Amino acid sequence: MSAIALTAADRTRLRKMHPDLFAPGLFKRWGGLMLLAGALAYLVYCWSFFEVGPKLAEGKWERASVYMADWISWEAQPRYRCQPDGTLQIEHQRFSPLGENPDPDWMTALPDGREEVTFGDQSNRIEIATTGVVAVLGGVPYDIAFADEAAILPADAPAAMSEKNGRVTVDYGFAGSAEIRATQVLVRRRFLGWENFWFDTTSPFWGMGLPELWTSVAAGPQISPDQSNLSLAWNEFLTNSEWQHGDVLNKLLQTIVMAFVGTLFAATLAFPLAFIAARNVTSSRPANWLTKRFFDFTRSVDMLIWALVFTRGFGPGPLAGIAAIFVTDTGTFGKLYSEAIENIDDKQREGVRSVGASAADVNRFGVVPQIAPVVISQTLYFWEANIRGATIIGAVGAGGIGLKLLEAMRTNQDWENVAYIVLLILIVVFIFDNLSAALRSRLIGPTGH
């Protein structure tokens, strides 16, 4: 097929008919690049304004690995003190996870008065005496002498050994470390898992393995004359002083109740108000305006701020959390419900009205069936989301698991407890996410119809 040549007159006529194609504006030609350049400029501005570079440089990144290790492991910290009579005194932390009379197999008294601590096996250990320490790394011994009230770093020390202010630190990786001074040696021995998770050191079931525990509960001699071994074991688990399972579960239940009651109250109030806010149902413009402004006011203030307000008014506890969720969600639900009403098909309302139905029946049979899928879906979604939100507002005094999480984080030591609480929150969110999806599927169908 031969090409058709356009004359000058044809080209002029086409330019006049389609000027946007032949002479596009500046934004159409360069709009994409302009937006990309603007986004890059904004990122550069944020990098400078928030001092991202210096903050990254000043960050204590070495702490990240320590915190992560604390989530999945625990430490025993025996301290060896050199006494004036040439002996060593062993001290354990106040609430030692090893119990009142610890005698672990990784701590051994040597015949000549020295003490030995192993970090996994004999190729990684330290031998402690009042005159010095021998640190064995990978089977190679290194002598750390004491002089002028300071520990002396060996000349051939490997990278795992360091010295600062007269203290020598020997790093054994995940297994732990030893901080050596002239008068004492602090050992940090790390173990995988959560220490004393089931029972604390004061429990009669402490230290029992699963077979021994089962035998004690099922057929062992009765420990307490007032209750069975099974009841005693359950009570000891809940009152575990280190993990406080009973209190944690109680706070978790408070969080769930806060989310459910707050969401329920909000939906109950917002549903009738939405009919007043909808212009196609209520013809009064002042009523529409006032109701929508009420929705705007309650939802424009963040739930966290409302929680702070109600905590000052009601005091710390779940009531403040319920009120914060109730007020915030009332505005959100009201906006969503009223917009759903305003977008309905009026033919169904007119059909109900044509048979002489009252205004209430028109809304009941002409509006509610159309908005029910939206109302149910949004309400269930916010109920699920409020379980997560209740965790946050609990941290500012509204009670629940959030307050317990904040307490564990404040110590900066109980990171295994933080991991435990976070895991419980994840499990609860997962359960209620699936429960919400199942309810939506049952009530409005798998496709939302």
Burial profile 333-344: b = 16 or more Cβ within 10 angstroms, e = fewer: bbbbbbebbeeb
In angstroms, rounded to a whole number, what is the distance separating the alpha carbons of residues 386 and 380? 10
Question: Comparing C-alpha atoms, which of 76, 113, 88 is closest to residue 183?
Answer: 88
In angstroms, rounded to a whole number, what is the distance separating the alpha carbons of residues 139 and 49? 52
Ranges of H-type helices in 5-61: 8-17, 19-22, 26-49, 52-58
Q: What is the pLDDT of residue 449?
A: 45
Contact 250, 403 (CB under 8 A): no
In angstroms, rounded to a whole number, what is the distance separating the alpha carbons of residues 155 and 144? 10
In angstroms, rounded to a whole number, what is the distance separating the alpha carbons of residues 404 and 406? 5
Q: What is the pLDDT of residue 124?
A: 93
**What are 215's two structure tokens?**
């035998």
pTM of the model: 0.78
Extents of the domains making up the chain? 18-59, 75-192, 245-444
Digit-coded pLDDT (tens) for 182-238: 889 999 999 998 888 999 888 888 888 888 888 888 888 888 888 888 899 999 999
Q: What is the pLDDT of residue 68?
A: 82
Q: What is the pLDDT of residue 16?
A: 72
Contact 172, 179 (CB under 8 A): no
Question: φ, ψ for residue 133 (rounded to 5)?
Answer: -130, 140
Q: Which residues of the chain have pLDDT under 50?
A: 448-449
Q: What is the pLDDT of residue 218?
A: 85
Question: φ, ψ for residue 58 (rounded to 5)?
Answer: -85, -10
Q: What is the pLDDT of residue 448?
A: 44
Question: φ, ψ for residue 225 (rounded to 5)?
Answer: -70, -15
Sign of CA dihedral 213, 216, 218, 223: negative
Q: What is the pLDDT of residue 120?
A: 87
Assigned CATH topology for domain 245-444: MetI-like fold (1.10.3720)
| Long-range contacts at 144-151 (CB < 8 A, ≥ 24 apart) | 144/168, 144/180, 146/182, 147/182, 148/182, 149/182, 149/183, 150/181, 150/182, 151/180, 151/181, 151/182
Question: Comparing C-alpha atoms, which of 247, 230, 239 is closest to residue 198?
Answer: 239
CB neighbours of residue 150 within 10 Å: 17
Contact 248, 421 (CB under 8 A): yes
Contact 390, 381 (CB under 8 A): no
Sign of CA dihedral 379, 380, 382, 383: positive
Read off the amino acid at residue 353: R
Read off the amino acid at residue 44: V
